[in-house]
Chains A and B, each alone.
Chain A
Amino acid sequence: MNALNVPKRTIALFVLPCLLLYILLVFIPILVSFYTSTLDWNGIGASRFIGLGNFKELFTKDPVFWPSVGRTLLFALFSMAEIPFALFVAILIGRYVRKPNFLVSSYFLPVILSVVVIGQLWKTIYNPASLGGMLNQLLMAVGLEHWTKPWLTDPKVAIFALFFVSLWQYLGYHVLIQFTGIQNIPSEIYEAAKIDGAEGLTADRYITLPMVLPIFKISIVLSVIGSLQAFDMIMVMTGGGPAHATDVISTHMYNMSFLSMRYGYGSAMASFLVMECLAATLLLIAVFKKLESKYA
Chain B
Amino acid sequence: MSSLPGVTSAPVRAVPRRRASRVRGRGLVLGFLSVLFVTQVYPLLWLVIYSLKTNEEILSGSFFSLPHALQWVNYKEAYVSGTYLKYLFNSFFVTASTMAVVIVLCSMVAYAITRFRFKYASAVMLVFLVGIMIPLQATLLPLMIIFKHMGILNTYLALILPYISFSTPLAVFVLSGFMRTIPLEIEESAVMDGASITRTFRSIILPISVPPIMTVSILTFISIWNEYIMASTFISSQSLKTLPFGVYSFVSQYSVNYGAIGAFLVLGALPVILIYFVLSEKITKGMVAGAVKG
Contact = CB atoms under 8 A, between A and B. Distances in A.
Contacts of B127: 19, 22-23, 27
Interface string B250-270: 010000001001100100110
A263 interface: yes
Given A215-B292, A271-B138, A273-B135, A107 B7 contact: no
Interface stretch (A58-66, A125-133, A151-159, A186-194): A125-133
Contact of A277 (B135, B141, B162, B243): B135
B225 A6 contact: no
Interface in B80-133: 105-106, 108-109, 111-113, 115-118, 124, 127-128, 130-131, 133
A238 to B, nearest CB: 13
B135 A15 contact: no
Contacts of A108: 280, 284, 287
A157 B276 CA distance: 34
Per DSSP, are chain B's interface residues mostly helix, strand or loop, or mixed? helix
Nearest to A275: B138
B276 A17 contact: no
Given A121-B265, A274-B135, A257 B287 contact: no
B115 A125 contact: no
A143 to B, nearest CB: 14
Interface in A17-47: 17-19, 21-30, 32-33, 36, 43
Contact of B284 (A15, A17, A105, A215): A105
Given A4-B191, A98-B7, A132-B61, A232 B228 contact: yes
A124 B131 CA distance: 36
Given A112-B276, A114-B247, A116-B248, A106 B117 contact: no
Interface residues of A, number: 102
Given A114-B228, A134-B46, A106 B40 contact: yes
A211 interface: no
Contacts of B130: 278
Given A4-B115, A103-B37, A225 B133 contact: yes
Contacts of A180: 288
B245 to A, nearest CB: 8
A103 B6 contact: yes
A26 B139 CA distance: 7
Nearest to A101: B281
B247 A32 contact: no
A138 B38 CA distance: 14
Contacts of B136: 229
Given A114-B269, A277-B135, A107 B37 contact: yes
Interface in A93-117: 93, 95-117
Contacts of A22: 127-128, 131, 165, 168-169
A258 B148 CA distance: 14
A124 B59 CA distance: 12
A5 B41 CA distance: 54
Given A257-B141, A270-B137, A122 B43 contact: yes
9 contacts: A17-B108, A29-B143, A30-B138, A30-B142, A96-B33, A120-B261, A124-B258, A176-B287, A274-B134
The 8 closest A-B pairs by CB, nearest first: A99-B6, A29-B142, A114-B226, A25-B165, A132-B58, A3-B117, A18-B105, A32-B142
Given A32-B146, A36-B141, A109-B40, 6 more contacts: A22-B128, A27-B131, A99-B7, A171-B36, A250-B135, A257-B140
